[in-house]
Amino acid sequence: MPARTDIKKILIIGSGPITIGQAAEFDYSGTQALKALRSVGYEVVLVNSNPATIMTDPDLAEGTYLEPLTLEFLEKIIAKERPDALLPTLGGQTALNLAMQLYEQGILEKYGVELIGANAAAIKKGEDREEFQRAMLKIGLDVPRGKMVTSLEEGLEFARNVTGYPVVVRPSFTLGGTGGGIAADEAEFIEILSRGLSLSPTHSALVEESIVGWKEFELEVMRDHNDTVVIITSIENVDPMGVHTGDSITVAPAQTLSDVEYQKMRDAAQAIIREIGVETGGSNIQFAIDPKSGRMIVIEMNPRVSRSSALASKATGFPIAKIAALLAVGYRLDELPNDITQKTPASFEPSIDYVVVKIPRFAFEKFSTLPNTHGGFSDRLGTQMKSVGEVMAIGRTFKEAFGKAVRSLEADVRAEFAHLTDAELWARLYPSPTRIYAVLELLRRGASIDELYQATRIERWFLHQFEEVVQTERALGLGEWRLSDREDWRYAKGLGLSDARIGELVGVSEAVARKERLAAGAKPVYKTVDTCAAEFEAYTPYHYSAYEIEDEVRPTDKPKVVILGSGPIRIGQGVEFDYATVHAVWALREAGYETIMVNSNPETVSTDYDTADRLYFEPLTLEDVLNLTEHERPIGVIATLGGQTPLKLARKLSEAGVRLLGTSWEAIHKAEDRAEFNALCAELGIPQPKGAVARTPDEALRLAEQIGYPLMARPSYVLGGRAMQVVRSPEELQWYLSGIYAALSERPSILLDQYLEGALELDVDAICDGSRVVVAGIMEHIERAGVHSGDSATVLPPVSLTSEQLETVKTYTRKLALAVGVRGLINVQYALKDGVVYILEANPRASRTVPFVSKAIGHPLAKYAALIAVGKTLEELGFTADPTPGFYSVKEVLIPWLKFPGVIPVLGPEMRSTGESMGIDADPYLAYYRAEVGVNQKLPLSGKVRLIGAQALEAEWRAAGFEISDDDYDLLISLEAHPELRRAVESGRPFITTLEGARWSLEAIRRVRTSRLEARSLQEWHQVRA
């Protein structure tokens, strides 16, 4: 069957602000779908409130709506755009839930919009646990014994009589398992079930038998209209059942299933996708196997593309989202070519000849220090997803892939764990972000595989693999085995050991180890990800390194640029940096360069093999990047667009003779080094808050007296405001130094700065070609100083600055960019207090606000930066005047409070947000309102407001017609870290924690009452149609 011709315009819903459980993978899948659908001639309309994404680039759709993902806005957009079809399976749970609401409310029917990809009945059957389990039993598959309950009493009865404890609670229709958990006893059960019921939109939750400790597997399945069903890959979780698969270390393909077991699972997956009725597209199906009996049960299915499908796409080279989009409009798998082989069809099952390991990345340290209603913070992992990002690594063996993944993660705690006692290590074998390091350390100390299996239930096969690495480490450490020739080196490197680690074991530096390795002739070769285990020739340049014999990747003789990606997403280094690096690739490709992307993050657009001319899926470490640059010999490397990860490599790459394109290492250093930066500001006459650098805690206390309190204390060279704190007295500084600072693994210098209490903060993105500076965007923070810039709402252009002040900011920025020697982007932060503009810091690299500013001003800043890096001027780019947008753009942030039990939501100098929304309007307050709704802060237009520590606001809110309440409320304003804030989080009610937030919200509410909020696309705002 050919593509459908009765459909012309298709609506795609994105997944909104990045949050735990819905991250960059939906930017990747959405972008793929947009490109695929447009390439076959469909008109596409996109709705997504998240400006940090590639998919919301105005070039990628006919209409791009940066509007809140709510029923109300969706209906406005549908009424205006009149799409023929809605493809709901590419924007995660958010899009799927919205599509279901649109369907159930009759909106789709009203406007004649067809759901394609998955119909409502299938979505319901796949998502509703009770219906799903009934369907499984019907087709003869085994499921955990369980019951859907709608009350605590019902749950208790079932747990007491059927399952016993531990028992699992899974609330219906919540994102990423939010609100679920495993209850060890009745008390815990009551707590978890109560919360789960209240979080579920249907007030229901599944109570079921615990299968904690069972082996966990996933299959990625695709189906087309012709009922062809293929399995893209199997995935095995190293962490057994009990840890959300998003938080587990996983391996593709499955390692410990015999063909008989695997085919049984495959048969089940086929039966499931058919029974649930997913007509076209991809689904993820999870299974558990009892390690003792082999009993296989079905856990759940996601009738849409998912984080796992993004991983499966990157793991195999099979582009699930792209194919899913094409299947939804009527293509069949056998009609679509496999991009990689070009000659064979997509109706096959990838076979791979390498091993893929994924390790999640967590951000517990961001939340552990906040006040907590539970009395303490736990890093225990469970059925609710907690990780904020992930890395993937490819190796020829599990050991090699695992070693590469660990070094990609930038979170190895091996050195710290080496100092722990055996007892401390044994105590860390509960599921946590660092459990695997405890396992490895115990193996190094001679713990037996059986003991570790009993403690962790990690499949012994994996423990044996780790043991093999540890044995080699031991031999190297004892000098029993000397790396004498290429073969030895190849063996050791094939275990995934880094040069740094080998050096440490044999007592030399990383540089020396590298030199010896190269002297022995042991260089990595590059292999290709080809979907077919080399059976057919591959045309797609997607590569990984291995210590093998044959190098199959020949560098071309074209001028090449290597773009370093940003590695795993973490708080402070999110999808914004992927956006910037992808734009650089696009710009440089257009300019005729061969672009080479290096990254280790499977969720992103940058690691789509379709993005750069060549993709190397590699760790972003000095060793791996140097290997690559030696192999490819590019004209240079761009390290300033991917955030801190590549920036950290800049100096050593530069020292190793690699040319950095754009801003030089020396310039970066000038801005980052305190002393140099202070001198520069003094020379340029730019006021700075008083500050000092202390090398020891004692020195810090001494210097603090000289500057005076309050102070902002933080470690040097740390991104995202980690371990940053306002201290108001010597006692508080002492507390900071002995608590937060002492807990840091390295002991960086301590930066102390005069804290400008109540100052207005500004974020400026500017671009410089060496002789000209364009101030691209000035953002005014809505929250005052003390809130991390990444967590503050911002408005562009500013609303409270005088034109003189604006001019001052621009002048300072120009002077600074030229003096530092920036060739590309620079982000400068200012504070305005008592009429004086102070400079806080400058970062000569792409900032996290680049995509937001680019969309607000209608200029692709990262593209410009990449072109400047290869020698273009701003004049040549036609970007010479500071833009003055005719409307307001507001960015608001999303913080995943709900995922961290008991944590009381307050803003501070440590960044905690994972994502952001953008609101655009001719009126700044209406733009603010849209941005608020975009992060699900649904400001009530009337009703009850409860004020805590904010009695001063009472008159204003009362005057605006709100009832002031002491108990129940529609909006909570708490200026202190009150436990009620936690209840607001858990009940999904809007809350405000700052005075400025309250002021902006009230003004926004007033204006919304008298306005009609129209939906308007980015293309319309900028008066262009793509």
Partner 1 sequence: MKERAVLVLEDGTTYHGYAFGHRGKNVGEVVFNTAQTGYQEILTDPSYNGQIVVMTYPHQGNYGVNVFDMESNRPWVRGFVAREFSTYAAGPRAQQSLAEFMTEHGVVGLEGIDTRALVRKIREGGVLKGVIAHASHLGDPNYRFSQADLEALREEARTWKDIDGRDMTPEVSTPLPYQFPTFKGKRRIVVMDFGIKHAQMRYMAELGFELIVVPGKTNPAQIMALEPAGLFVSNGPGDPSMPRYAHETLWKLMGLLPTFGICLGHQLLGLAAGGRTFKLKFGHRGANHPVKNLLTGKIEITSQNHGYAVDPDSLKEFRPTHINLNDGTLEGMAHLRYPVFSVQYHPEACPGPHDSLYLFRRFLEEVEAFHGVTGMPVEKQRTDKLGV
Is residue 709 within the footprint of partner 1 (CB under 8 A)?
no
CB nearer partner 1, residue 227 or residue 416: 227
3-state secondary structure of 70: coil
Give the Cα separation of 825 and 867 in Å (integer): 11
Is residue 349 within the footprint of partner 1 (CB under 8 A)?
yes
Is 964 annotated to bind ligand? Answer: no
Q: Is 52 in contact with 579 (CB distance < 8 Å)?
A: yes
Among 16, 51, 350, 496, binds partner 1 (CB under 8 A): 350
Among 114, 548, 630, 676, binds partner 1 (CB under 8 A): 548
Give the Cα separation of 968 and 972 in Å (integer): 9
Q: Could you tell me the smallest distance in angstroms from the CB atom of residue 465 to partner 1?
A: 8
Is 936 annotated to bind ligand? Answer: no
Query: What residues between 372 and 411 interact with partner 1 by CB under 8 A?
Result: 396-398
**Segment interacting with partner 1 (CB under 8 A) among 150-158, 342-350, 666-674, 805-813:** 342-350
The amino acid at residue 422 is D
Say how many residues make up the chain. Answer: 1026
Is residue 256 within the footprint of partner 1 (CB under 8 A)?
yes
Q: Could you tell me the smallest distance in angstroms from the CB atom of residue 284 to partner 1?
A: 19
Give the Cα separation of 864 and 818 in Å (integer): 17
Q: Give Cα separations from 851 to 54, 365, 388, 863 (angstroms).
A: 9, 27, 20, 11
Is residue 464 within the footprint of partner 1 (CB under 8 A)?
yes
Q: Could you tell me the smallest distance in angstroms from the CB atom of residue 505 to partner 1?
A: 17
Is 829 annotated to bind ligand? Answer: yes
Is 195 annotated to bind ligand? Answer: no
Query: What residues between 552 and 571 interact with partner 1 by CB under 8 A?
Result: 552
Is residue 672 within the footprint of partner 1 (CB under 8 A)?
no
Query: What residues between 579 and 598 interact with partner 1 by CB under 8 A?
Result: none
Q: Is 489 in contact with 547 (CB distance < 8 Å)?
A: yes
Give the Cα separation of 104 and 479 in Å (integer): 69
x/- letters, 524..543, toward partner 1 (CB under 8 A): ---x----xxxxxx------
3-state secondary structure of 873: coil
Q: Give Cα separations from 43 to 158, 305, 687 (angstroms).
A: 51, 21, 52
- Cα Dmax for the chain: 82
Q: Is 117 in contact with 280 (CB distance < 8 Å)?
A: yes
Is residue 119 within the footprint of partner 1 (CB under 8 A)?
no
Among 355, 587, 733, 992, binds partner 1 (CB under 8 A): 355
Among 59, 185, 227, 705, binds partner 1 (CB under 8 A): 227
Nearby residues of 408 by Cβ (< 8 Å), 6 or more positions away: 359, 391, 392, 393, 567, 568, 600, 618, 619, 620, 621
Is residue 10 within the footprint of partner 1 (CB under 8 A)?
no
CB nearer partner 1, residue 550 or residue 731: 550
Task: Tell me the site size for partner 1, rule CB under 8 A.
Answer: 56
**Segment interacting with partner 1 (CB under 8 A) among 364-372, 544-552, 749-757, 825-833:** 544-552
The amino acid at residue 758 is G
Is residue 912 within the footprint of partner 1 (CB under 8 A)?
no
Give the Cα separation of 408 and 392 in Å (integer): 8
Is residue 228 within the footprint of partner 1 (CB under 8 A)?
yes
Q: Could you tell me the smallest distance in angstroms from the CB atom of residue 503 to partner 1?
A: 21
Torsion of CA 307, 308, 310, 312, to 10 degrees: 170
Q: Could you tell me the smallest distance in angstroms from the CB atom of residue 523 to partner 1?
A: 14
Provide the CA 212 distance to its chain's centre, in angstroms.
27
Q: Could you tell me the smallest distance in angstroms from the CB atom of residue 533 to partner 1?
A: 4
Among 106, 187, 260, 592, binds partner 1 (CB under 8 A): 260
Is 181 annotated to bind ligand? Answer: no
Is 225 annotated to bind ligand? Answer: no
Q: Is 356 in contact with 252 (CB distance < 8 Å)?
A: yes
Give the Cα separation of 196 and 206 in Å (integer): 9
**Segment interacting with partner 1 (CB under 8 A) among 222-230, 624-632, 653-661, 784-792:** 222-230
CB nearer partner 1, residue 334 or residue 416: 334
Q: Could you tell me the end-to-end alpha-carbon distance of the chain, in angstroms, rounded to an integer? A: 30
CB nearer partner 1, residue 354 or residue 830: 354
Run of H or E including 736: helix 730-736
CB nearer partner 1, residue 198 or residue 344: 344
Q: Could you tell me the smallest distance in angstroms from the CB atom of residue 452 to partner 1?
A: 13
Provide the CA 661 distance to its chain's centre, in angstroms.
26
Give the Cα separation of 59 and 67 in Å (integer): 17
Nearby residues of 810 by Cβ (< 8 Å), 6 or more positions away: 775, 778, 882
CB nearer partner 1, residue 454 or residue 880: 454
Is 93 annotated to bind ligand? Answer: no
CB nearer partner 1, residue 423 or residue 549: 549
CB nearer partner 1, residue 400 or residue 624: 400
Half-sphere exposure of residue 504: CA atoms within 13 angstroms, side-chain side: 9
Q: Could you tell me the smallest distance in angstroms from the CB atom of residue 87 to partner 1?
A: 23
**Segment interacting with partner 1 (CB under 8 A) among 262-270, 820-828, 888-896, 947-955:** 262-270
3-state secondary structure of 412: coil
Query: What residues between 401 and 460 interact with partner 1 by CB under 8 A?
Result: 459-460
Q: Could you tell me the smallest distance in angstroms from the CB atom of residue 296 to partner 1?
A: 11
Query: What residues between 735 and 764 interact with partner 1 by CB under 8 A?
Result: none
Among 258, 421, 771, 1010, binds partner 1 (CB under 8 A): 258
Give the Cα separation of 646 and 642 in Å (integer): 6
Is 243 annotated to bind ligand? Answer: yes
Is 223 annotated to bind ligand? Answer: no
Q: Is 753 in contact with 691 (CB distance < 8 Å)?
A: yes
Angle between helices 861-869 and 575-590 (to 10 degrees): 50
H-helix segments, 105-235: 107-110, 120-127, 129-138, 152-158, 186-199
Decide the pairing of beta strands 594-599 and 614-617: parallel
Is residue 257 within the footprint of partner 1 (CB under 8 A)?
yes
**Segment interacting with partner 1 (CB under 8 A) among 437-445, 486-494, 846-854, 964-972:** 486-494
DSSP secondary structure letters along 805-837: HHHHHHHHHHHHHHHHT-SEEEEEEEEEETTEE
Is residue 327 within the footprint of partner 1 (CB under 8 A)?
no
Q: What are phi and psi of 157, to 5 degrees?
A: -65, -45
The amino acid at residue 515 is K
Is 841 annotated to bind ligand? Answer: yes
Among 345, 477, 559, 821, binds partner 1 (CB under 8 A): 345
**Segment interacting with partner 1 (CB under 8 A) among 5-13, 257-265, 643-651, 834-842:** 257-265
Is 490 annotated to bind ligand? Answer: no
Give yes or no for a cis peptide into 166 (omega within 30° of 0): yes
Is residue 354 within the footprint of partner 1 (CB under 8 A)?
yes
Q: Could you tell me the smallest distance in angstroms from the CB atom of residue 487 to partner 1?
A: 8
Strands (E), 697-835: 711-715, 725-727, 750-754, 760-768, 773-781, 794-796, 824-833
Q: Could you tell me the smallest distance in angstroms from the CB atom of residue 270 to partner 1?
A: 8
Give the Cα separation of 379 and 362 in Å (integer): 10
Closest CA to 714 of 687, 759, 748, 738: 748
CB nearer partner 1, residue 121 or residue 533: 533
Closest CA to 165 of 212, 209, 213: 209
Is 669 annotated to bind ligand? Answer: no
Q: Could you tell me the smallest distance in angstroms from the CB atom of residue 548 to partner 1?
A: 4
CB nearer partner 1, residue 1 or residue 427: 1
Binding region for partner 1 (CB under 8 A): 226-228, 230, 253-263, 266-267, 291-294, 333-334, 343-345, 347-355, 396-398, 459-461, 464, 487-488, 491, 527, 532-537, 548-550, 552
**Residue ranges at the known binding site for Mg(2+):** 286, 300, 302, 829, 841, 843
